Amino acid sequence: MAQHLSYEESVRGVWKGLALLALVTLVEVALSLLKAAEWAEDIRILIYVASLLIIGLSVYKAYFIIYEFMHMGYEVKGLAMTVLLPTMLLIWALIAFFNEGDAWRKSREKVIYKDQLEVPTGDDVGAISPREDDLLLALPA
Amino acid sequence: MTEERDTDIIIAEDEKPELNSDWSGGDRKPFRTSYGKLMMWYFLLSDAFTFAGFLISYGALRFSSPSWPVPDKVFATVPFGINELFPNGEAPLIFVTFMSFLLIVSSGTMVRAVQEGARENKRGVVFWMLLTVIGGLGFLGCQAWEWTNLIATENMTVTTNPFGTYTENGFYLDPETGEVTDERVLEGETYLLHLAGAEHGEEAAGDHGEEGEHFAYATTPGDYPGYVVDGQRPDGSGVAGAKPFIHRKYVVADEEGNLLTNEAGNPVQFTQEFGPVAFGALFFGITGFHGFHVATGVIFLLIIMINAGGGVYVARQNGYEMVEKIGLYWHFVDLVWVFVFLVFYLL
């Protein structure tokens, strides 16, 4: 792939790269099935570790495709930086929007909870219980 | 030839007239690359932001939902009934893994086409590009089957998501009598709502509403002892024009299987709900946009393959640079699939 490699070497590099990507994909699928297995349901830590590994492997695949197949590793550094650095903005987008999604879920749950509350009716409305009455009397004047 | 130098600073005395052909005004090529390749990189960068926007919105909506369909249950079918060979008739992620392989392999054959181009080997370029086109068409065919299965067999649309997920444990009610059965409802498990009157056993796997052969769900919309059928009921209530989805009823239990009761002492009863509405729109929108990129890529691969075969790039004597440019685009399509595969199928 690199300019200094011979033709035969670079051809072999392609098939090695393909085998690597296929293997990483298989490992990802295996991890994904593992974390969805019934016996793994209650082991939260396993689910988190497997998910993080899957994300890590996907990022590795992306790196490999960009650097080897798309030849970014052999371009001038300035070109690589102008293309790759702007994507760093996405890190903040991920943090911000996932937090936002979580906040939507919380407010939805709050709405559901409040909808289920029963409105006090009849004599209960505005009444002060005897104990609260005592508290009021005990306040200093 | 350019000298080996890892900088893009323009030096006035660095006169390279032969490099000026496609950059008017500059003394040398920025980043020591051609105009076309550089602009392809910046186009891909902007496209990456488009896809990132879509995928991040998927994440935000998923986080905002109390439950989300489990991909292993949603994507468990394979053409030709191959999934029937697996336990429960479910082949989780097998088909999409095959689709991923198709795209990865077509990426590899594309690299080979670029390598042959660098050697000015016309026959090699055409041969490897043809294999790449076949890989791309194969991927599109698989996607067409996947969509058809989801839409026609499993009744998922942009606005309807029949893949719901339980948020509590419990037991189903017998559909006929409405009595509590010992058939369990498991928290976090995804079910598929079926249409009343649909052929029994032809549905995709993944549901837990299968009955003995002798029981058939009513096709008239209504509230039955153990289930509800959507649509306008004979008494005029219900939603007119709604598809007759069957929603089974179940009672909630704790993890040990003890039934929960409300204040009046009755068991807490729920009905199967639709899954998050956004799921269908996100799935068809994002995989559709990716499929559109694949289709566009196949068209351009074909055009460039025909040009290469016709000797257009031999005359240009630039190492088949056009093949390199479509190669960049094609690898990008593969790259996006890595992330689509990650968020829709793996996580």
Q: What is the mean pLDDT of residues B63-80?
A: 89
Chain A, chain B: beta-carbon pairs less than 8 Å apart: 145
Separation of first and last alpha carbons in chain B:
49
A124 has a pLDDT exceeding 70:
no
Give yes or no for residue A3 having a pLDDT over 60.
no
Containing domain of residue A65, as a range?
A: 1-91
Q: pLDDT at residue A128 above 70?
A: no
Quick check: B335 and A32 CB within 8 A?
Answer: no
Structural domain contains residue A40: yes
Residue B87 has pLDDT above 70, yes or no: yes
Please provide the average confidence, as pLDDT, over all residues in chain A: 85
Rounded-to-integer distance, Cα B240 and Cα B68, Å: 28
Which domains does chain B possess?
Answer: 20-159+279-346 (1.20.120.80), 162-198+208-274 (no CATH)
- pLDDT for the residue B2: 46
Q: B184-209, pLDDT tens digit by residue?
A: 888 888 899 998 887 644 443 334 44
Average pLDDT, chain B: 85
Query: What's the confidence (pLDDT) of residue B69?
Result: 92
Total structural domains within chain A:
1
- In this prediction, residue B89 carries a pLDDT of 80
Residue B10 CA to its chain's centroid (Å): 45
Burial class (CB in 10 A: 0-12, 13-18, 19+), A126: exposed
In this prediction, the answer to ipTM > 0.85 reads no
**Cβ distance B124 to B118 under 8 Å?**
no
Q: Which one of A81-90, B19-28, B83-92, B166-175 scores highest in mean pLDDT?
A: A81-90
Q: What is the 3-state secondary structure (H, E, C) of chain B?
A: CCCCCCCCCCCCCCCCHHHCCCCCCCCCCHHHCCHHHHHHHHHHHHHHHHHHHHHHHHHHHHHCCCCCCCHHHHCCCCHHHHHHHCHHHCCCCHHHHHHHHHHHHHHHHHHHHHHHHHCCCHHHHHHHHHHHHHHHHHHHHHHHHHHHHHHHHCCCCCCCCCEEECCCCEEEECCCCCCEEEEEECCCCEEECCECCCCCCCCCCCCCCCCCCCCCCCCCCEECCCEEECCCCCCCCCCCCCCCEEEEEEEEECCCCCECECCCCCECEEECCCCCCHHHHHHHHHHHHHHHHHHHHHHHHHHHHHHHHCCHHHHHCCCCHHHHHHHHHHHHHHHHHHHHHHHHHHC
In a domain, residue A29? The reply is: yes
Q: Residue A79 falls within a domain, yes or no? A: yes
Chain B residue with minimal CA distance to A112?
Answer: B66
Which one of B7, B115, B342 has the shortest CB-CB distance to A10? B115
- Say yes or no to pLDDT of B88 above 60: yes
Return the residue of B nearest to A22 by Cα: B101
Nearest to A33 among B31, B72, B112 (CB): B72
Range B264-281 average pLDDT: 88
- Mean per-residue pLDDT, A60-87: 92
Q: What is the pLDDT of residue B209?
A: 47
pLDDT at residue B13 greater than cutoff 70 = no
Please check whether residue A93 touches B, CB under 8 A. yes
Residue B237 has pLDDT above 70, yes or no: yes
High-pLDDT (> 90) share of chain B, %: 48
Identity of the highest mean pLDDT range in A43-57, B129-143, B304-318: B129-143
Q: Which residues of chain B neighbour A54 with C-beta distances below 8 Å?
A: 342, 346-347
Name chain B contacts of A78, Cβ cutoff 8 Å.
7-8, 30-31
A48 near B CB under 8 A? no
Does residue A27 lie within any of the structural domains? yes
Check residues B337 and A138 and name the one with the higher pLDDT: B337
A83 domain residue, yes or no: yes
Q: Are residues B115 and A17, on separate chains, in Cβ contact within 8 Å?
A: no
Q: Kindly report the length of chain B.
A: 347
pLDDT tens column, B290-324? 999 999 999 999 999 999 999 899 888 888 899 99
In a domain, residue A58? The reply is: yes
Is the per-residue pLDDT at B215 higher than 50? yes
Q: Does A101 reside within a domain?
A: no
Interface probe with B: pick from A57, A70, A81, A91, most Cβ of B within 10 Å:
A70
At A10-48, the pLDDT tens digits run: 999 999 999 999 999 999 999 999 888 877 777 888 889
> Using the beta-carbon criterion (under 8 Å), do A90 and B107 form an inter-chain contact?
no
CB pair distance less than 8 Å for A7 and B8: no
Torsion sign across C-alpha atoms A71, A74, A75, A81: positive
Contact indicator for A83, B42 with CB cutoff of 8 Å: yes
Identify whether A80 is part of a domain: yes
The confidence band for B82, taking pLDDT boundaries of 50, 70 and 90, is confident
